């Protein structure tokens, strides 16, 4: 092995050949973990992660927990690069204290997640799931749906994905309400956006789409009280993070007709197995459209996030700094 070769371990599926070639061209030996079918790196015990990562200089990670103990046991590891944009499972204080760098793949999956949110809105409004189930049972009668065209869409969190959603909603001539950080008067005026309180957004929106990070302040932002403020004809879309929504409260609201339906790509049970029965009950409802945290997982979206994650790794291993939007913790002196 050349002395310039750096060892990069990938614990994600669907890591494309072009990105592997990019890493190799930049002096990296690439090891893609052979995970059992149906298993993600978030399912691996710390001991298993340690075995995979011993001697690694860079780690391209999915949903594994990056803890102080794990990092301390991996002295060669210089950079942790998420193929994704959430970082709540990374101990950022430990990254800084131990002199490492943690990055996200900012900008890689914005379009894919925004497309997914639109798809869920259309599927719910036009009652695709219910119609197909009826047809399979021999009932071909028409169910009356509703348009996305000229509806009011509330967006909670106006980051990169939220802005991609705004761009797509222009074609539907939607009225767009926004709640959350990142006010930009020029952007709001150019895109006909109104910044409103959470209560105003919930009361007025036909669709409420979540695009906020999961923090102590946003945990269970959507709960029994906030669901009760929504229209009974409204739909909730969560392509962001499990934990933004109290899934038990959502289940009760859907059963009781408090809201009309939900499009769910993320669930509390992803981080808390005790919620698995609640997730299964949500999946069984006819007015729920669900996917297994797959909003970012288009072929094109994964290729983009793979490349951004790999570019972050190379930058750090070369002693440089990745783009500011990608760096979430930098412990280098």
270 belongs to the catalytic site: yes
Catalytic residue (choose from 179, 270, 304, 307): 270
Q: Which phi and psi angles does 84 have, rounded to 5°? A: 160, -175
Q: Are strands 288-290 and 175-179 parallel, antiparallel or unpaired?
A: unpaired
Catalytic residue (choose from 293, 299, 320, 332): 293
300 belongs to the catalytic site: no
Catalytic residue (choose from 241, 255, 299, 332): 241
Which two structure tokens, joined as six digits, stand for 220?
């269970």
293 belongs to the catalytic site: yes
Q: Find the radius of gyration of the CA atoms of the chain.
A: 21
Give the CA diameter of the chain: 69
Beta partners for 13?
A: none
Concatenate the DSSP letters of all residues of 34-96 into one string.
Answer: -PPTT--GGGS-HHHHHHHHTT-SEEEESS--B-HHHHHT-TT--EEEESSS--TTB-HHHHH
CA atoms within 13 A on the CB side of 225: 4
**Catalytically active residues, by annotation:** 241, 270, 293
């Amino acid at each position: 092995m050349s002395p310039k070769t750096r060892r990069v371990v990938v614990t994600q599926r669907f890591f494309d050949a072009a990105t592997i070639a990019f890493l190799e061209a930049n002096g990296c030996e690439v090891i893609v973990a052979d995970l059992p079918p149906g298993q993600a790196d978030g399912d691996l015990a710390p001991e298993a992660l340690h075995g995979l990562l011993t001697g690694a200089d860079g780690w391209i990670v999915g949903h594994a927990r990056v803890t102080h103990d794990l990092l301390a046991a991996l002295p060669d590891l210089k950079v942790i690069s998420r193929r994704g944009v959430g970082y709540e499972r990374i101990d950022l204080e430990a990254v800084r204290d131990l002199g490492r760098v943690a990055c996200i793949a900012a900008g890689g999956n914005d379009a894919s997640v925004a497309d997914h949110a639109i798809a869920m809105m259309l599927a719910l409004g036009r009652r695709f799931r219910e119609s197909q189930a009826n047809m399979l049972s021999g009932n071909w009668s028409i169910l009356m749906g509703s348009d996305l065209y000229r509806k009011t869409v509330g967006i909670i969190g106006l980051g990169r994905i939220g802005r991609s959603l705004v761009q797509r909603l222009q074609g539907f001539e939607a009225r767009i309400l926004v709640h959350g950080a990142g006010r930009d008067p020029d952007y709001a005026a150019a895109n006909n956006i109104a910044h409103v309180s959470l209560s105003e957004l919930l009361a007025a929106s036909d669709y409420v789409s979540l695009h906020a990070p999961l923090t102590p302040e946003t945990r269970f932002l959507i709960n029994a009280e906030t669901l009760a403020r929504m229209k009974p004809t409204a739909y909730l879309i969560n392509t962001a993070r499990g934990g933004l929504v109290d899934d038990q409260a959502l289940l009760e609201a859907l059963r009781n007709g408090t809201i009309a339906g939900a499009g769910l790509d993320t669930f509390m049970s992803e981080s808390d197995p005790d919620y698995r029965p609640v997730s299964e009950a949500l999946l069984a409802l006819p007015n729920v459209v669900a996917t297994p945290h797959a909003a970012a997982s288009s072929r094109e979206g994964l290729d983009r996030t793979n490349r951004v994650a790999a570019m972050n790794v190379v930058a750090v291993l070369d002693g440089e700094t990745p783009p500011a939007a990608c760096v979430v913790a930098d412990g280098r002196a």
